[in-house]
Amino acid sequence: MLHCSLLSLGCVFGFSPPPQTERLTALRALKIAQRRLRPDVRSRLLSVTSSRSQGGLEPEAWRFVFFDAGTSGKSRAVTVAARTSSEHPDTVEAFSSARGEPVTGLQVIPQARWTIDSDAALNKIREETKLRGVRSARYRLDRSRTGAEATWLIEFFGDGDEVVASFHIDARTGELSRLAVAA
């Protein structure tokens, strides 16, 4: 008698279990972005940004800017977008000016010292404060001074376009500081 499981029968007939839906954190998206770059550029990350999230606090897209001496703007941007770990085929974009990304003055982020991912940074903020009335968020990770650690800047928005709360989080230690928001 032939013994088959439902899963193996599904595989025989082309069915498979639904994929696990994991959030697209910044570190998970970085691994996807690095596959699209030359090896000499992969380790030269300058900044990570998200657009303002819609209807939640976790971004659905991440934009990475890498130092690339081979381009006229000395940088290369890679955008990874999706709720799960998938990517669009045309995610690599070279640009000659820092359109929307202030890359001058930024230092390369040592990726081995980046231990606090975007979801851990959000959880740290949630542990420290109540986020009442917050509808969306915007994330940025960069390293602006020589010798300084990379820091997350996470801004929270209510129903309008004004920032209602803003936090800095050290990307290595997780040290949290709340920033003053203009009234």
- pLDDT of amino acid 102: 58
How far CA 131 is from CA of 26, 57, 127, in Å, comes to 21, 10, 10
The pTM for the full model equals: 0.78
Asked if residue 3 has pLDDT above 70, the reply is: no
pLDDT tens digit string along 58-103?
Answer: 998 899 999 988 887 788 888 888 654 444 444 555 443 334 455 6
- Residue 10 has φ and ψ, to the nearest 5°, of -60, -40
- pLDDT of amino acid 47: 93
- pLDDT of amino acid 101: 52
